[in-house]
């Protein structure tokens, strides 16, 4: 008898959580009455959507949206989805790293994640921050040289859709240690060629292919030297030597083939001006 009562209580609790005994919520978008598993709850915004309305949100960002979006974020996303649909449908990547990262440098678009073609296509014009890097996890000593093992990852923040996304794009990568401190445990290594090329392409798109007004807004409070350092992907003038400066310029110029129509003259002029400024300060 005791266990029957316990079982009945458990059933009631489960049914209550599913919404069987509650007044049904309404979908904030279409007004449909909702009960239990029919609804998707958006915690931060305090609203619910039916399955049909929630399905308008791309699967890659739905989990972030449910935890962080207000209703205005949802409506902004629908507007963004509609107004950028044709632009993003033209996505044709010319820089691809494995199945995980693809960049269309001509149209300022990119896509990343483990689902390949099913990942959402995003715009560099909406990108507010990013990080492409290698995260070390294990150091191994060896007769032929030490190696470090870790994962390559991408993380991005966008203004619309308002999301922060992160994905490991390559697990278990082994890199040869270039230099290790005698006293400290600090060490350096070179990224794999493919990943390094992808980072350069991504950085070029971020700094050069944003709309001019967005680029100017980003750089408004930064002096010309800092702009040049950022463009050439240096953290400080200490890293700038004639050889490294020339190497970085060649990479930038390669990304913007002067024979291609997509190479905006303004961007090429920025590359030259930044080069001349940094060269004059070495």
Question: Mind listing the pLDDT tens digit for each residue in 222-242?
Answer: 567 788 888 888 888 888 888
Same domain, 231 and 269: yes
Say yes or no: 269 and 200 in one domain.
no
Average pLDDT value for residue range 189-215? 79
**Structural domain total, the chain:** 3
Percentage of the chain beyond pLDDT 90 is 36
| Residue with the larger pLDDT of the pair 1 and 253 | 253
- Is residue 271 over pLDDT 70? yes
pLDDT digits (tens, 9 = 90+) for 31-85: 888 876 667 889 888 899 999 999 999 999 999 999 999 999 999 999 999 999 9
Looking at residue 9, what is its pLDDT? Answer: 58
Asked if the structure places residue 88 within a domain, the reply is: no
Q: Do 282 and 235 share a structural domain?
A: yes
**Whether the Cβ atoms of residue 175 and residue 189 lie closer than 8 Å to each other:** yes
Same domain, 177 and 249: no
- Is 215 inside a domain boundary? no
Whether residue 115 is found in the same domain as residue 196? yes
Domain contains 216: no
Same domain, 201 and 246: no
Domain boundary residue, one of 58, 83, 108? 83
In a domain, 154, yes or no: yes
Structural domain boundaries enclosing 274: 222-282
Please check whether residue 3 lies inside any domain of the structure.
Answer: no
Same domain, 101 and 187: yes
Among 3-7, 44-48, 173-177, 201-205, the range scoring the smallest mean pLDDT is 3-7
pLDDT of residue 138: 87
Does 193 lie in the same domain as 127?
Answer: yes
Residue 17: inside a domain, yes or no? no
- Boundary-marking domain end, from 83, 117, 152: 83
* In a domain? residue 5: no
- 105 and 201 co-located in one domain: yes
Tell me if 49 is assigned to some domain: yes
Going by pLDDT thresholds of 50, 70 and 90, the confidence category of residue 23 is: very low
Instruction: Identify whether residues 39 and 101 lie together within a single domain.
Output: no
| Domain end call among 83, 104, 125 | 83
Query: Would you state the pLDDT for residue 122?
Result: 96
pLDDT in tens, 146-184: 888 999 999 999 999 999 999 998 899 998 887 766 655
> What is the pLDDT at residue 14?
55
């Amino acid at each position: 008898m005791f266990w029957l009562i316990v079982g009945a209580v458990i059933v009631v609790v489960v049914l209550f959580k599913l919404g069987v005994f509650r007044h049904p919520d309404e979908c904030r978008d279409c007004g449909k009455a909702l009960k239990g598993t029919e609804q998707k709850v958006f915690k931060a915004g305090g609203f619910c959507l039916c399955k049909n309305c929630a399905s308008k949100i791309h699967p890659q960002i739905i989990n972030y949206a449910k935890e962080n979006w207000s209703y205005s974020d949802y409506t902004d996303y629908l507007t963004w989805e509609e107004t950028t649909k044709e632009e993003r449908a033209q996505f044709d990547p010319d820089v691809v790293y494995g199945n995980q990262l693809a960049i269309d440098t001509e149209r300022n678009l990119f896509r990343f994640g483990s689902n390949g073609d099913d990942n959402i296509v995003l715009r560099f014009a909406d990108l507010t921050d990013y990080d492409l890097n290698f995260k070390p996890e294990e150091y191994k000593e060896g007769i032929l040289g030490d190696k470090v093992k870790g994962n390559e990852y991408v993380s991005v923040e966008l203004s619309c859709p308002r999301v922060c996304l992160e994905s490991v794009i390559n697990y278990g990568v082994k890199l040869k240690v270039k230099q290790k401190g005698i006293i400290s445990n600090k060490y350096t290594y070179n990224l794999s060629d493919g990943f390094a090329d992808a980072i350069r392409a991504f950085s070029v798109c971020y700094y050069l292919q944003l709309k001019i007004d967005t680029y100017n807004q980003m750089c408004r409070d930064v002096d010309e030297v800092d702009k040049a350092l950022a463009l050439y992907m240096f953290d400080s003038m200490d890293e700038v030597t004639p050889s490294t400066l020339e190497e970085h310029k060649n990479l930038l110029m390669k990304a913007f083939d002067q024979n291609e129509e997509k190479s905006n003259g303004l961007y090429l002029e920025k590359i030259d001006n930044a080069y001349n400024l940094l060269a004059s300060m070495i």
